[in-house]
Amino acid sequence: MKKFNSIFFFIISFLIIPSIYAQKFEGLAKTPPLGWNSWNKFGCNVSEKLIMETADAMVVSGMKDAGYQYVVIDDCWQIARDSLGFIVADPQRFPSGIKALADYIHSKGLKLGIYSCAGDKTCAGRPGSRGHEYQDALMYAKWGVDYLKYDWCSTENLNALGAYTTMSRAIREAGRPIVLSICECGSNQPWLWGKEVGHLWRTTGDIYNCFDCIQDYGSWKSWGAMQILDMQEGLRQYAGPDHWNDPDMLEVGNGMSNNEERAHFSMWAMLAAPLMAGNDLRNMNSQTLSVLTNKEVIAINQDSLGIQGFRYAVNDSVETWIKPLVNNEWAIFYLNRSKSPKNILVDWKKFSVKDDLSGKTLDTTDKNLFVIRDLWQKKEIGDTKKNLSITIPPHDVLCLRIKQKQTKPSI
């Protein structure tokens, strides 16, 4: 009888335990997600009209062709729960319902994202998912949702790992692959446990529409792009394909100078961060559009190695950032954080970098020449045979991609 019980327990364990501990759908974010989120620009002022027009703009503007695919409705789309506890969308703002909206987004070749919160209430005071995780996941699956941003407000006495694991399992049980964005602002060190639970996790508090400043609300703060950049120190080892550090959404197009937009966007690409636009896509000027659709910078972000870049050196307010790429290519970005132009001189004969995380070495000091491409000028600017001397404008960035120069075989 004991032997029978042991065999029975083994069979039951084999069949049930994997489903109990099954968590996120694997392989949904092999490269950092690209898309748009409503919050930075519109806050609670969301509607199906806005979302449909944004999807249209994403296609017409060329953003879809550049790789953007998610259209994410942030907080305030939900208004109540029905008598059975299922979440209800605001019927005035979303009169056709979320399913019809998802169908429209999908007809454009895009994907729909939605927002909820692990607590009783969302950050804007709408119904949260606490105690309704499986109901909400079933509804999202029924509607055709592809992406869930899951926030961390009104979460008294909740354990973050437990709460996010519950929603992750609920999504899997609902049966529809949905990207899970863990949005608890880094307060519970999600980089230590998020890989098995979600596909990306916020590493900091909210971004603020400023290049280099802090917005102090008394009990909490929001951060400029450069402050958030500094907060990524020490986190790169936790990121990779299907599990990304998320330094929050982009503020490109919301009021920074063109130089600052270019630098902000470039550094998020260097970080292998999700690129979630947060501006009004329906009314972009040509400068903002040119930043958001620079395919060569996006390619640095979407590199299949999935290695987050790192700050290699700082000299007179100019930071050197480096990122290993496929095919033994490298991204080298020079970020000028000063309010003044800065001259840089790169002596390639003395340039050698070892990335301990990836085990890769960039060495331009030997006889191998590397071709240098400027990603914002979108042209080759020479090779490593000669020193590079250039002036970087204030709050701007020089983005280089280098690859080994092919030599012609001798005859």
Q: Is 86 left (phi over 0), alpha (psi -120 to 50) or beta?
A: beta
Give the chain's end-to-end CA distance (angstroms, integer). 80
Residue 292, pLDDT score: 98
The total of structural domains in the chain comes to 2
Q: How far apart are CA 231 and CA 204, in angstroms?
A: 7
- Asked if 264 contacts 251 with a C-beta cutoff of 8 angstroms, the reply is yes
Catalytic residues: 151, 206
Same domain? For 263 and 333 the reply is no
User: Which residues of the chain register pLDDT less than 70?
Assistant: 1-22, 407-411
Rg of the chain over all Cα atoms, to the nearest angstrom: 23
Residue 18 pLDDT: 40
DSSP string for 342-362:
EEEEE-GGG-EEEETTTTEEE
Domain boundary among 270, 301, 332: 301
- Residue 63 and residue 230 in contact, taking contact as beta carbons nearer than 8 Å: no
Are the CB atoms for 182 and 190 separated by under 8 Å?
A: yes
Beta strands in 153-231 (DSSP E): 179-182, 200-202, 214-216, 221-223
Question: What confidence score (pLDDT) does residue 217 get?
Answer: 87
For residue 368, what pLDDT is reported? 80
Question: Looking at residue 279, what is its pLDDT?
Answer: 98
Asked if 228 and 326 sit in the same domain, the reply is: no
Within 243-361, where are the H helices?
Answer: 258-270, 286-292, 295-301
What pTM does this model have? 0.93
What CATH code is carried by the domain that includes residue 336?
2.60.40.1180
224 domain residue, yes or no: yes
Distances (CA, A) of 361 to 312, 330, 356, 365, 382: 13, 10, 9, 12, 21
- Is residue 54 domain-shared with residue 165, that is, in the same domain? yes
319 and 217 share a domain? no
Domain that holds residue 332: 310-404
Looking up residue 280, the CATH number of its domain turns out to be 3.20.20.70
Residue 5 is assigned to a structural domain of this protein: no
pLDDT at residue 407 in the model: 64
For the record, the structure tokens of 287 come out as 């400068």
Helix segments in 61-190, DSSP class H: 63-66, 98-107, 133-143, 160-174
